[in-house]
Amino acid sequence: MKIIKRSGAEVAFDPNKIVIAVTKANQSVVPSVRMSPIQIKRIAEDVESAAQNINRSLSVEEIQDMVEDQIMNQRAFDVARRYITYRYNRALIRKSNTTDEQILSLIECNNEEVKQENSNKNPTVNSVQRDYMAGEVSKDIAKRILLPSDVVAAHDQGIIHFHDADYFAQHMHNCDLVNLEDMLQNGTVISGTLIEKPHSFSTACNIATQIIAQVASCQYGGQSISLTHLAPFVDVSRNKIRRQVADELHSIHEAVTEEEISSITEKRLREEVSNGVQMIQYQVVTLMTTNGQAPFVTVFMYLNEAKSEQEKKDLALIIEETLRQRYQGVKNEKGMWITPAFPKLIYVLEEDNIHEDSKYYYLTKLAAKCTAKRLVPDYISEKIMLQNKVDKNGNGNCYTCMGCRSFLTPYVDEEGNPKYYGRFNQGVVTVNLVDIGLSADGNLEKFWEIFDERMELCHRALQCRHERLTGTLSDAAPILWQYGALLRLKKGEKIDKYLHGGYSTLSLGYAGLWECVYSLNGKKLTEPEGEELGLAIMRKLNEYTAKWKATENIDYSLYGTPLESTTYKFAKCLQKRFGIVKGVTDRNYITNSYHIHVTEEIDAFEKLALEAKFQALSPGGAISYVEVPNMQNNLEAVMSVIKFIYDNIMYAELNTKSDYCQMCGYDGEIEIQEDEHGKLIWKCPNCGNTDQNKMNVARRTCGYIGTQFWNQGRTQEIKERVLHL
């Protein structure tokens, strides 16, 4: 059995340390009230037994809480008081400097929690360690100086989660839609160097990757670009190549027809498109931003975004090449093709590509083939999105999310035109719905009272996000605010105007709707009573964001939080506060947003249809998924799911597996098993390899693909996922 030290390091549980600590407290009281050595030994044994039953690595604080309880059970109250006083005094000493041990454990790579905090960061790399070290300092400043004490306390207790506190000290926002069109067409500046409008598709792709890297280094969330913004440069290259071909043939006095020139031109053009797409894929995978990971970027593929038929044809060419290269994958250090985490791909389903007689149906078939092997692309239904995203002019809009799922609210600029690229999200605060449900103890009236209190707490926490950005100068991130990624403000100009009026959003996240409902009425979201209560909670959440928006002229929006490490944190906090409650806290994770529980046996189509009702009530972003086996030999089934998505839900994905063992060359599913300490580990079923450094595992974590493994809570969730198809 393992425990987690305060520094985050994981060590073997030693019951003798309990015996020593309790003995010291015991010796500090008068002999008449002391415990016997047998009683002290029994305390250590009982704590060890209780800890083993929880089936996860407990923190030192949790072990000490158990020790206190056991001392009290022995009715040794004077000893308990001495033990509690000693803990309190030690806590005061630690509070005087909260970051040293954390930072040192990061440098020595023995901080177990941080090592598994982000499934796309390698914590042994210097650049990642540097980012984490800075993050520890930022969190310390945020908790001691910048945030209200009740917000900090609620965050620490898992009542809410104040996202990305490790970046809060800086004036940084969360995620955005990069206005790549403006930057390519009108030029930009990178590191003080003027970048003019490119004269070829390949150059445009090269500039795009530089922009992606720069943007990623100036914010802490995801970004999205559209392939549509690269499409005009295909024709630029076409015309350039055509002139070159004609000149070459003329120089050797060859008589050729226009058709022959066009044929040679298109062949060379395809090569350039292939090289340009490859540049984006490999640059994104290999770039290392200042936060120690590859840029968290989403690539959007939407045919109807093109401004002309020729541009649509050229866009289709780029999309086809993007899907072909992603299907192939990238090579790992052993030279084997594997699934990369980024860029994330989103493919829009529309009338031009969803029916068998549609002009671009071949692209959807290729997308299905890619999904079956590489987990991407994910799918947006234009049909459903036009119904869900209606602006003040009454027009439906289809656009990409920012990163993995965060969606902007519909917005119309001063000229009456819809605008999405160049907009951003200010930040996220998530409420733990399960905690509200358990605190109410089955009393629905009490639930709504606590709910109201928690909403006001979240509101004040979100206002802290907004206030931290207020007054930010454009000079803080020139690539964003001055050179077109988001805006083109003057030097020294504040961004305040764009924090109001709907230009940007603030996200109220929510987690654990499934467990919340079950804690209140014992019903699942898949049952009528559970569904009804779940939808009522969602509507109430939206009432609050609407009220805040109307009062402050800030676009608050409800967001289905993609819990990664927080799913484990929330579960541990719930277990500590409420114990083990069957069906609610009996696992080391809670459910993402409105999702059906991963263990629930449900058909893929039934799941998507049910979750579509909840997704429509999550306007700030959410994504649904279905878990599927290896579908590479059953693409018809994949296509049937894709067509169902088009007709029924705005945004969804298919989860499969894509693993590789470097020890034996096994190309199949790496399994999750328990080791002798009860810890979940990854194991190759072919050769038994358990060294994570010698295997490539790709799993959908929570809207995006993770490749650097996960904490114990998320790993358990992945292990327990049932197939829906």
H or E element at residue 432:
strand 425-432
206-224 residue pLDDT tens: 999 999 999 998 999 999 9
| Average confidence score pLDDT of the chain | 91
- C-alpha dihedral over 615, 421, 323, 202, to 10 degrees? -170
The C-alpha atoms of residue 518 and residue 587 are separated, in whole angstroms, by: 14
263-313 residue pLDDT tens: 999 999 999 999 999 999 988 888 766 566 678 899 999 999 999 999 999
| Residue 631 or residue 111, greater confidence | 631
Could you give the C-alpha distances from 645 to 526, 527, 617, 632, in angstroms and in order? 19, 22, 17, 19
- C-alpha dihedral over 131, 132, 135, 139, to 10 degrees? 180
The fraction of the chain above a pLDDT of 70, given in percent, is 93
pLDDT band at 505 (very low <50, low <70, confident <90, very high): very high
- Please tell me the predicted confidence (pLDDT) of residue 422: 98
Among 697, 544, 679, 722, smallest CA distance to 10 is for 679
The C-alpha atoms of residue 399 and residue 417 are separated, in whole angstroms, by: 14
User: Residue 668 in contact with residue 687, Cβ under 8 Å?
Assistant: no
Q: 201: which 2 tokens?
A: 């598709």
Q: What is the pLDDT averaged over residues 72-96? A: 79
The C-alpha atoms of residue 523 and residue 541 are separated, in whole angstroms, by: 20
- Please tell me the predicted confidence (pLDDT) of residue 424: 98
Helices (H), 562-603: 566-578
Residue in the block written with tokens 């009272």:
449
- Please tell me the predicted confidence (pLDDT) of residue 117: 53
The C-alpha atoms of residue 227 and residue 323 are separated, in whole angstroms, by: 12
- Please tell me the predicted confidence (pLDDT) of residue 124: 65
CB crowding 8-38: b at 16 or more within 10 Å, else e = bbbeebebeebbebbbebbeebeeeebbeee
- Please tell me the predicted confidence (pLDDT) of residue 185: 98
The C-alpha atoms of residue 237 and residue 170 are separated, in whole angstroms, by: 42
- Please tell me the predicted confidence (pLDDT) of residue 290: 57
Residue in the block written with tokens 């194991």:
683
Peptide bond into 31 cis (omega under 30): no
Q: pTM for this one?
A: 0.86
- CB atoms under 10 Å from CB of 81, counted, come to 14
Q: What is the pLDDT averaged over residues 83-90? A: 80
- Residue 201 Ramachandran class (φ > 0 left, ψ -120 to 50 alpha, else beta): alpha
Q: Find the farthest-apart pair of alpha carbons in the chain and give their distance in angstroms, rounded.
A: 113
- Please tell me the predicted confidence (pLDDT) of residue 138: 82
Q: Is the pLDDT of residue 107 over 60?
A: no
- CB atoms under 10 Å from CB of 124, counted, come to 10
- Residue 124 Ramachandran class (φ > 0 left, ψ -120 to 50 alpha, else beta): alpha
| 3 state SS of 64 | helix
- Please tell me the predicted confidence (pLDDT) of residue 293: 66
Contacts of 227 (CB under 8 A, 6+ apart): 299, 300, 301, 315, 318, 319, 322
pLDDT band at 181 (very low <50, low <70, confident <90, very high): very high
- Please tell me the predicted confidence (pLDDT) of residue 657: 85
Among 350, 281, 354, smallest CA distance to 321 is for 281
The C-alpha atoms of residue 178 and residue 379 are separated, in whole angstroms, by: 20
pLDDT band at 469 (very low <50, low <70, confident <90, very high): very high
When mean pLDDT is compared over 80-89, 169-178, 691-700, the highest value belongs to 169-178
Q: Is the pLDDT of residue 122 over 80?
A: no
| 3 state SS of 707 | coil
Catalytic residue numbers, as ranges? 174-175, 402, 404, 406, 425, 559, 564, 703
Domains of the chain: 1-96 (no CATH), 98-146 (no CATH), 156-174+425-591 (no CATH), 176-388 (3.20.70.20)
The C-alpha atoms of residue 302 and residue 420 are separated, in whole angstroms, by: 14
- Please tell me the predicted confidence (pLDDT) of residue 529: 98
